[in-house]
Amino acid sequence: MHRTLSLFLKIWMTLGYGFLYFPILTLVVFSFNASPQVTVWHGFSTQWYGSLLQDTVLIRSAFVSLQVAVLSATLAVVLGTLAAVSLVRFGKFRGRGLFGILTTAPLVMPEVITGLSLLLLFVGLEQTFGWPKGRGILTITCAHTTLCMAYVTILVRERLADMDLSLEEAALDLGARPLKVFTAITLPLISPSLVSGWLLAFALSLDDVVLASFVAGPGSSTLPMVIFSSIRFGITPQINALATLIITGVAMSVGIAGWLMHRRR
C-alpha cells in the first residue's frame, strides 16, 4: 500500500511537472524555427533573434519596462520591509488591521480593479492638484510598487517570523537603540529575502500588462503592453524568441535567489 502511494505520487508529479514545462518548452523550441509558421518544424535558425534587435518599438518599450521595474522593485523592497517589520515586530498598534489590509490586499486583488482605481486616482489628483502631469513612467512605477510591495511584505514577514528574537533582545539589553538593532542585526539577517523580494518584484513589474495598460500614457507603452497587442493578432516566432530571452533571464534570477536562500540555511 505504501509503495503504491509513492508510485502514484511519482507519476502524478512527473505529469504535473510536464504540464508546467511542456508549454514553455514549445515556446523555446519554436523560437529557433526557420519558418514563420509556429507549429511545423522547418529547420534551425536564429533569424528571429536578429529581427528582435531591429524592432525599435520593442526596444524602446523594453527600456521603459526596465526603468519602471528597477524603480518599483527598489521602492517596493524599502516599503515592504518597513511594512513587514511593523506587522511582525511592533505588536498591536492603532490602525494595524487596516494597515495589514492595505499592504497585502493588492496581492490577490483582481488587476482590473486595482488598475481602474489607480487610474481614477491619478486623474483625480491631476484635476485637483495638477500633479502628476499626464501619465507615464511615474504613474506606472507607483502602480507596480503598490502591487510588488504586497509580495515583498509577505516574503519578509515570513522570514521575520522564522527569525530568533533572542539576538535582537540581547542587543536591546546591551543598550543598543532600536534603530541600531534594526540596521546592525535585523537587516543583515533578512537580507536574503530582500534580494529575492527585489528579484520577484522586478519580475512581476516586467510581466504586468493590466495595471500598465490602465495607468500608462501615450508614448510610455511597456514591453508587456507591446507584446500583448501583437499576440492578440496571433502567434509570431519573434515573440517566441523574446519569450525565450525573458524566460532565460527569469530562470537565472530564480537560480540566484534560490542559491542565496539555500546558502543561509
In whole angstroms, what is the distance from residue 195 CA to residue 206 CA? 17
Residue 196 is a binding residue for other proteins (CB under 8 A)? yes
- Within 148-177, the residues that bind other proteins by CB under 8 A are 149, 153-155, 157-158, 161, 175, 177
Binding test (CB under 8 A) with other proteins, winner from 183, 251, 256, 264: 251
Determine the interface stretch with other proteins among 48-56, 66-74, 129-137, 203-211 (rule: CB under 8 A).
203-211
Q: Using the rule CB under 8 A, which residue among 148, 200, 216, 241 binds other proteins?
A: 200
Of 34, 116, 185, 195, which lies in the binding site for other proteins, with binding defined by CB under 8 A?
116
Site string for other proteins, 45-84 (x = CB under 8 A): ---------------------------------xxx-xx-
Give yes or no for residue 40 binding other proteins (CB under 8 A).
yes
In whole angstroms, what is the distance from residue 230 CA to residue 97 CA?
43
Judge contact between 106 and 114, C-beta under 8 A. yes
| Minimum distance, C-beta of residue 53 to other proteins, in the bound complex (Å) | 19
Any contact of residue 86 with other proteins (CB under 8 A)? yes
